[in-house]
Amino acid sequence: MELRSKVALVTGAGSGIGRASALTLAEAGAVVGVLGHTRSELEKTAAEIEAIGGTAVLLEADVADEASMRSSISTLIETSGRLDIVIANAGINGVWAPIDDLKPEEWDQTIRVNLRGTYLTLNVSVPYLKRHGGSVVVVSSINGNRTFSTPGATAYAATKAAQVAIVQQLALELGRHRIRVNAVCPGAIETDINDNTKVRGKDETAVPVEYPAGDIPITGGKSGESEDVASVILFLASDQSRHVTGTPVYVDGGQGLLR
């Protein structure tokens, strides 16, 4: 298995892309720290990893809270001895609303989870990656990079664009430590994320476009699955991608090219 003897951290591992990535990395032989803020979800992911013969370390933390991130990553190092792979995945859609209706506290919450959360994940884990080199994958989006047409998603798109900027900046900064830093930019993927999305004033923000045969060319319109993203994350986490750094990889079935 290509990740045998490696230790990975996956944030937002309780559902969707994070859960699928945690399982895929565990299947490839990595010990996986499954981090998130909902213990019941993490217990399920950890049990699924153990059911396939893998090893999971359950880490309950809010990615935007420094103290809980520091203590979780310390726990992972104490239990597993090292850190090689970091998947900064936890994120929210937040509130999608017209810019003159979006409340400052709603803006702050999206920035807090998606951007402060990504920063803290890297701030706390990079010292351990520097010991032996490693691979970081940030889960960004087509939003803010290839597409700007999701109604009212200004705060979300801003965080997703910033994540790709962070990846490119850090690919240069951390190359000397043999740490590669890449992003995946998924299109529409079937997960729980829409359950936690609040949309207001869509009539005002929607862009009037219609696609004749579905807006995801490779599937005829059907959303992707978390496993479609997880397999690209495995590639970026492994030595198979050893000469790839500072790169966003679109996992959108061509969706973003239509916008």
Q: Which of 115, 139, 171, 236 binds ligand NAD (CB under 6 A)?
A: 139
> Which two tokens mark 211?
């696609």
Nearest to 57 by CA among 18, 81, 31, 78: 31
Q: Are 234 and 8 in contact (CB under 8 A)?
A: no
Q: Which of 56, 115, 153, 189 binds ligand NAD (CB under 6 A)?
A: 189
Known catalytic residue: 156? yes
Amino acid at 253: G
Size of interface with ligand NAD, in residues (CB under 6 A): 28
Buried-state track 173-190, b at ≥16 Cβ within 10 A, e below 16: ebeeeebbbbbbbbbbbe
Q: Which of 24, 72, 80, 89 binds ligand NAD (CB under 6 A)?
A: 89
| 193 lies in the site for ligand NAD, by CB under 6 A | yes
| 91 lies in the site for ligand NAD, by CB under 6 A | yes
Buried-state track 105-119, b at ≥16 Cβ within 10 A, e below 16: ebbebbbbbbbbbbb
Site for ligand NAD in 199-258 (CB under 6 A): none
Q: Which of 115, 166, 188, 216 binds ligand NAD (CB under 6 A)?
A: 188
Interatomic CA distance for residues 94 and 161, integer angstroms: 16
Q: Which of 7, 25, 33, 41 binds ligand NAD (CB under 6 A)?
A: 41
Q: Considering only 23-31, 58-66, 211-219, 237-245, which stretch makes contact with ligand NAD by CB under 6 A? A: 58-66
Which positions touch ligand NAD (CB under 6 A)? 12, 14-18, 36-38, 41, 62-64, 89-92, 113, 117, 139, 141, 186, 188-189, 191-193, 196
